[in-house]
Structure 1
């Protein structure tokens, strides 16, 4: 899986300067995590949501007042978290031979 982690460090560099310097070690740490245990993989799949948990419609008496858009892309480590979740799902499916449909959606 090294091809996945080596391709993504430069994909989501939205910030420059001191913020990037602070976030770089966190991104590198997330990208360097290797999944080698099914319990860890299952935990990551449960903890990292497949969709943005903040997106929703605010309704009163059945009428939509307003819509809160997905804000996950504002997270500066969003891409690294999604890749970590993907690696965990891939480990469960390919190495452990488990059905991963319970973690999708």
Structure 2
């Protein structure tokens, strides 16, 4: 799915779905991101991973969506993590305290 500011690409692998998010993740694209990710949240038998390597910007709306994904996956006892977070985005995650909920772990969430 491509929007002017954001691109979302999904890759299904054995036991895992990787969502590649590129560009700017903000209020303007929040609805489209939700539409793309919500069906994947239901796949409790697969690890859901967001790859943010090419993410340039995220605002509080984007962070809120990440938190809602964490909560929904936790409720389903389904693994969720974020990988390849750019340094400037990781700094924001650290400041908001959500980093601990977005890291890979083989144990339950």
Q: TM-score w.r.t. structure 1 length?
A: 0.31
Rg comparison, structure with higher value: 1
Higher strand share: 2
Which structure carries more relative contact order (alpha carbon 8 Å, separation 6+)? 1
Q: TM-score w.r.t. structure 2 length?
A: 0.30
